[in-house]
Structure 1
Amino acid sequence: MQKILKIFQSKLFFLKNAYLSQEIDYSKFIKCAIWSVLGNGISRFIYIMATIIVGRYLGRKSLGELGILQSTAGMFEVFAGFGLGITATKYVAEFRTKNKIKLGRIIGLVSFISIITSVVIAVILIIIAPWLGSSVLSAPHLTNLLKLTAAMLFLSTINSVQIGVLAGFEKFKIIAKINMISGLISLPSIILGVKWGRLSGALVGLIIYLALNCSLSFVAVRKECKKNDVYIDYKYKRKEIWVIREFTIPAFLSSAIMGPVTWYCNAMLVKQPNGYAEMGMFNAANQWRYILTYIPGVLSTPLIAIMSHSLGLEKVLPTLGLYLKTTLSYAALLSAAASVLSLLSPWLMSIYGHEFAAGWQVMVLLLGAAFLYGILMPAGNMIAALGKIWLGFLMNVGWSFVLILSCYFLVHLGAKGLALSYLIAYLLHSAWIVIFIFCILKD
């Protein structure tokens, strides 16, 4: 017993020293974080406005249809994106000063592959849209709209690589300006689209937003490369294929499982009695889950960069200190925000229309899941920084298994059952994250 107590005390002493460590300079990270939060906030605002407009004008069922369409596009986008955005960010940041020739080839490589993957996956989506609409979603009338989401998929994939390059150059201010300009121009098109074209009009409005965003980011990348004397080389891109093998593929596999699992659980819900109405309820409440985890999600890229750099210099203690400070900060921020949003949930849900007000319990359950997800995110950043990407993949497999199993037994409860499934999945996900952190302390 005394031996266990000594081990526990030594771990606490180590954690205290890590927390008090001041070796990491936070000023640059804070600047990037502020602009990153602003830029991504504008993008998220556009999608929230689209859901509110559809809910107010077209009702709960149409909002549910919009949710499953976006979920489908998002699932296919995971495969089209192939982890190329985060690959661009990592290697632009690494090589932008020490090897500009190599950097030009890497940008050419990821840009070329993104075009190929986005076209191929978009064509596949168009081809199987009739089968998805009739057999999988039990909604043949959504076939043409599923085909329309192929354009969203293509533009999102190309844009993610461009934004990844800009993030690698640490041009988060430019990214924020691009999102602001695109949002101001395209928001009226979404409103008019819903009014004149109903659900298809809403999708067209979102496509206009993505097209503007993609065009502006394309121009910004070329300007930034010229400014930094980086020539985008498409001719000798094969020399850097090792990037795909060593980083992109494991990173892709780690994230690829999430989209299909989420989509499958959504599909289970819409096939229930009154399924699309329940999906509309879940989709409305789910927007607030995304809001709660917005800041942890946005700060992931800067955190991974700082942790990777620190670990590369063998500064284990400061890196663990950064992890502890970030986790505790997220816990304080998210617990306060989740409490306030839970108290306001009946009113917030009624914004979408009076028929949504009864879904406040769904929102509260999803806020609980969001809290757990948020405080676990720095651990995920640590896993990436340590290069343990296959471990992250196995953890995601475990989360997915629990979510599907829970959904299978609880989906008969409708939107509430799906929300409860997410909460259960993140509770168990927390367990193996704690084990992982304990193993780090042991090492």
Structure 2
Amino acid sequence: METMTPTKKHLNQENMTDIKVLKEKLRGSNLMKGFAATFLGSGASKVLLVLTTFLCSNLLSKGEFGEFSFVRNTLNVILCICALNFSSLCTKFTTEAKFSIESLHRLFLLFLFSFFICAIIGFFLVVAPESFLLNIFSTAFVVKFFRISGLLLPFFMLEPLFEGIMRGLKKFKLIGLLQTASSVFYLLVVFIGIKQGGLTGAMYGVILYYLLYALISFFVINRLCSVRKICYRLNGFYKQGGALLTMILPIFFMSFIEAPTLWIAQVILSKSESMGAIGSMTAMMQVRNLAMLIPGYFTNTYLAFAGELNAQQKYSEYYSQFSRIERSYFIIGIILFLFLSLLSQPILFLYGKEYVLDWPVMIISNIGIPIVMLASLYRVDLILKDHQAYLFVVSLVWNVAWIVIMFVMIKLSMAPLYSFFISQNIAAFIFVVLLYRGYNKDKVIKLI
């Protein structure tokens, strides 16, 4: 047996010490604590939402479930335009409001703008002619559902904005608790709704879920920071009107670009091949999005901490931390790509035997994982640095590039499903390069 020399023993002790120090740093890291709280709470919430989907698909007929999904997705698109895409901006303004009254005024301006857009869309849904809405929503009941939703839309927008504020206040455990509790409530009201009134009951359950979630969020925010006291500090908020043009409107316009692009790409795919191709595409996108769920939670958590460093102008620490996360994202993205690609056939088999033949396309789809992960990280930096206008232009470029490249590939007789993901990856790579250009340009200036 080999005897351990003093040198080897000393090196082993040093390694053990380094590992202990690293463990202590991770345990004491507020960023990692915030990520853990977000992952546990939001992860549990996602599991409950998936269970609700399975429940609906089993209790409703296939046609009813399709109609229910269409209504829910359409409402999500409306909320995305009105409020969901503003959540990151809420987090940014909240972290900065600790050090700047101007950021508090910008946050209030963002709420006013979101409320204004919700009111306009809601008013349209309420007063639009029945025949016009029937052409969009197909059935009289769905039209009735959206008329009711139109009246309540200004209340529905509160939850995503308040969640952005709570993230800025670093209340990650509270966010996770609220998301989990709301998902339990959603599961219950939809289940009871289906049992009592079938599809109609499920639809009313959705309305009740959104309304109650918004009211609870308002109550929680009022407990965290008195709304009445904040109102006294809003004098002169209109002086921040410039932020509407440079920060808020670009994000708003971006929603109108990004939301329809995937839908247009799906239409091209279905017209060029079949609805079966849509099924394969959906399965692959679902697997890819699920793989990026944990990095996505980390990005949401990181936004609050990075925003604070940026507001305090601690650029050396900011970019040092950003570079470490950048490298980690790339490595994790490559690992996820390799892992999911090696298991592409058994994963696709879970969806059905007919999906397995498309395993080479899934490998192409997985190439996008590290690209999209890096894009989400650079996007955070551009939002924090107030480059929303640049972000809007870059978003326009990559979305147009995707559709154009896909269309050209199909015209050149490439298989539509291959064209979908190859063009998406090429366009996403262009997106990342342009985002990195903006990030690196700022980095050079700030570190001079």
TM-score by length of 2: 0.73
**Pair 1:435–1:47, CA change in 2 (3 A):** same
1:15-72 per-residue CA deviation (whole Å, 9 max, x = no partner) reads: xxxxxxx9xx971211222222233334433442333233334455544444443343
For the 8 Å contact 1:399–1:429, the answer to whether it is kept is: yes
**Pair 1:135–1:82, CA change in 2 (3 A):** same
Show the counterpart of 2:381: 382
Deviates more, 1:391-400 or 1:338-347: 338-347
| Aligned residue identity for 2:223 | K
Show the counterpart of 1:91: 93
Does residue 72 in structure 1 map to residue 71 in structure 2? no
Q: What CA distance in whole angstroms lies between the structure 1 residues aligned with 2:437 and 2:86?
A: 31
For the 8 Å contact 2:371–2:432, the answer to whether it is kept is: no
For the 8 Å contact 2:87–2:163, the answer to whether it is kept is: yes
Structure of larger gyration radius: 2
Show the counterpart of 2:16: none
Show the counterpart of 1:11: none
Instruction: Give the match's secondary structure for 2:157.
Output: helix
| Aligned residue identity for 1:314 | Y
Does residue 208 in structure 1 map to residue 194 in structure 2? no
Show the counterpart of 2:30: 28
1:245-280 per-residue CA deviation (whole Å, 9 max, x = no partner) reads: 3422233334442113234445667889986x8767
Show the counterpart of 1:182: 182
**Alpha-carbon RMSD:** 4.2
For the 8 Å contact 2:162–2:217, the answer to whether it is kept is: yes
Show the counterpart of 2:292: 293
**Pair 1:157–1:266, CA change in 2 (3 A):** farther
1:62-120 per-residue CA deviation (whole Å, 9 max, x = no partner) reads: 44444443343233223322854333211211122x35x66665554443443332222
**Pair 1:375–1:290, CA change in 2 (3 A):** same
For the 8 Å contact 1:83–1:248, the answer to whether it is kept is: no
Show the counterpart of 1:171: 171
**Pair 1:88–1:152, CA change in 2 (3 A):** same
**Pair 1:383–1:233, CA change in 2 (3 A):** closer
Instruction: Give the match's secondary structure for 2:315.
Output: coil
1:356-384 per-residue CA deviation (whole Å, 9 max, x = no partner) reads: x6446499365554554224322323333
Q: After TM superposition, list the pairs within 5 Å mapping 1:261-272 onto structure 2.
A: 261-266=261-266
Show the counterpart of 1:321: 323
Residue segments in structure 1 that go unaligned for 5+ positions in a row: 1-21, 351-356
TM-score by length of 1: 0.74
Instruction: Give the match's secondary structure for 2:170.
Output: coil
Q: What CA distance in whole angstroms lies between the structure 2 residues aligned with 1:134 and 1:196?
A: 26
Show the counterpart of 1:225: 225
Does residue 52 in structure 1 map to residue 51 in structure 2? no
1:308-334 per-residue CA deviation (whole Å, 9 max, x = no partner) reads: 555633327515523433323431453
Q: What CA distance in whole angstroms lies between the structure 1 residues aligned with 2:154 and 2:278?
A: 25
Deviates more, 1:185-194 or 1:366-375: 366-375
For the 8 Å contact 2:329–2:370, the answer to whether it is kept is: no
| Aligned residue identity for 2:395 | N
Q: What CA distance in whole angstroms lies between the structure 2 residues aligned with 1:337 and 1:128?
A: 50
Q: How far 1:169 sits from its partner (Å)?
A: 0.9
1:193-225 per-residue CA deviation (whole Å, 9 max, x = no partner) reads: 344544444333333332232122111111110
Q: After TM superposition, list the pairs within 5 Å mapping 1:361-376 onto structure 2.
A: 361=358, 364=362, 367=366, 369-370=368-369, 372-376=371-375
Q: After TM superposition, list the pairs within 5 Å mapping 1:136-285 onto structure 2.
A: 142-147=142-147, 150=150, 154-226=154-226, 230=230, 237-266=237-266
Q: What CA distance in whole angstroms lies between the structure 2 residues aligned with 1:84 and 1:404?
A: 25
| Aligned residue identity for 1:120 | I
Q: What is the aligned length?
A: 408
For the 8 Å contact 2:123–2:151, the answer to whether it is kept is: no
For the 8 Å contact 1:83–1:249, the answer to whether it is kept is: no
Q: What CA distance in whole angstroms lies between the structure 2 residues aligned with 1:436 and 1:290?
A: 21
Show the counterpart of 2:8: none
Deviates more, 1:278-287 or 1:32-41: 278-287
**Pair 1:237–1:69, CA change in 2 (3 A):** same
Show the counterpart of 1:398: 397
Q: What CA distance in whole angstroms lies between the structure 2 residues aligned with 1:139 and 1:420?
A: 35
**Pair 1:208–1:73, CA change in 2 (3 A):** same
**Pair 1:234–1:94, CA change in 2 (3 A):** closer
Q: How far 1:284 sits from its partner (Å)?
A: 6.1
Show the counterpart of 2:7: none
**Pair 1:58–1:177, CA change in 2 (3 A):** same
Instruction: Give the match's secondary structure for 1:349.
Output: coil
Q: What CA distance in whole angstroms lies between the structure 2 residues aligned with 1:151 and 1:330?
A: 44
| Aligned residue identity for 2:315 | E
**Pair 1:157–1:48, CA change in 2 (3 A):** same
Q: What CA distance in whole angstroms lies between the structure 2 residues aligned with 1:129 and 1:347?
A: 46
Show the counterpart of 1:421: 420
Show the counterpart of 1:18: none
For the 8 Å contact 1:105–1:232, the answer to whether it is kept is: no
Instruction: Give the match's secondary structure for 1:299.
Output: helix
**Pair 1:42–1:274, CA change in 2 (3 A):** same
Q: What CA distance in whole angstroms lies between the structure 2 residues aligned with 1:404 and 1:112?
A: 34
